[in-house]
Amino acid sequence: MPKVNRKFPNMNLIVPPDDPPLVQPPPTSNLKRSTKIRINGTTIEIDPENTKPVKQLGHGAYGFVELIEHEPSGIQLAVKRICASKVSDQDRLFRDMDVLVKSQGCPHIVEFYGAIYWENNLCLFMEILDASLDKFYKLAYKLISNNKNNDGQQNDHTNAIPEPVLGRTAYSVVSALHYLHQMRVIHRDIKPSNILINRHGQIKLCDFGISGYLVDSVAKTFEAGCKAYMAPERLVPNQKGYDIRSDVWSLGLTLFEIATGKFPYPTNDLFKQIKSVYEDDPPKLPQGRYSQQFHHLIAKCLEKDHQQRPNYLQLLEFDFLKTYQNSDISDFAKYVLDSELVNETQTPPPAAVAVAPVIESNCLATSPPSSSSSSSSSTTIEMDNSITTMSNNNCNNNNNS
């Protein structure tokens, strides 16, 4: 087989801007074995010889993610390593990297620092957050289950995740999705494990390995994503396409799950899940536990007819999002995340990095979904198109959606 010359985007100096990035020509130079990145105002040069592994954060069929330390500065960051041997893995990895590069102006999308190519491995460097929402809500419900009433009975009607956290989550994810839509990108894999949170209460979207590009506002690829969270229109064969409102359905399921602590559909049989999504009425929140504004948001996101679902700009006008978009949830985030440290006598829990797990397209949601079997996603390396052009879209820009 003839050797193929591969071009890599130039990531030798990526500085996350305070303002939306300007459109620039696509880089053409190859990735090198070292790169300069800027973290919190400090520029450092990353080289395989000046970093050391701290611990592994995750692994899977496409590679692994680990926490590393830049020895000269002591700065720690996450690196995702993928062997660049399979074209399918390259495609997924490059798509992930492409979206991350374009999204540097959005505070609701994980921060990407740069990349190197070394010994047939592509290494992506990203910020570290403390947990995925999948892990976070399980910790919160574990805390609730450990808190008994005075009579010793567990209170089954206590909401482990308060509405300000749900509202801040909804606002952050919708803002990130709207930013992607301005670049004609659809995420296609919205679920709790692809949303990250840190102790500062920041919530960010990650994992763009199966994102797609919209043509006339429509996506064509039906197999991408986790079927348990797919909208009904994506489960119907012979459809001509779907639009961003399929991700609105997935967001509705995600908010439902983290609010109630359980996935609302059958969890032990993928066929039953799909059948229930397609044939049954949408799930409804328990009465008496949530505000009418939250009930309204979930009901609209889970409209089975996609034409009845709101788009991102319409969602940003919902009272629930407007009420909680600036909520400070840092105290609650610290309370939940630090609860795990109480039982950890050696090292802190592995951080959830800005690299979400790979979930195959026929993945099965559990109740609650488990992240233990997930693996890290991948991307492509080939530079056939000018898709590394920076975007000038503002994450909070309210253009037409």
Annotated binding site: 80
Q: 189 an active-site residue?
A: yes
The continuous run of DSSP H or E covering 140 comes out as: helix 133-146
Gap between the Cα atoms of 154 and 232, Å rounded: 36
Gap between the Cα atoms of 27 and 8, Å rounded: 8
Gap between the Cα atoms of 370 and 257, Å rounded: 12
Gap between the Cα atoms of 51 and 69, Å rounded: 5
The continuous run of DSSP H or E covering 80 comes out as: strand 75-83
Three-state DSSP class for 76? strand
Which tokens hold the place of 266? Answer: 């059958």
The gap between the terminal CA atoms of the chain, to the nearest Å, is 46
> Residue 189: which residues within 8 A CB-CB, separation 6 or more?
207, 210, 211, 224, 225, 226, 229, 250, 356, 359
Catalytic residue among 189, 207, 243, 247: 189
Gap between the Cα atoms of 105 and 340, Å rounded: 32
The continuous run of DSSP H or E covering 39 comes out as: strand 35-39
Where does residue 382 rank: exposed (0-12), middle (13-18), buried (19+ CB within 10 A)?
A: middle
Three-state DSSP class for 14? strand
Sign of CA dihedral 93, 99, 101, 103: negative
Q: Specify binding-site residues for ATP.
A: 80
Gap between the Cα atoms of 332 and 134, Å rounded: 16
**Hey, how many other C-beta atoms are within 10 angstroms of the C-beta on 144?**
17
Residues labelled as active-site residues: 189
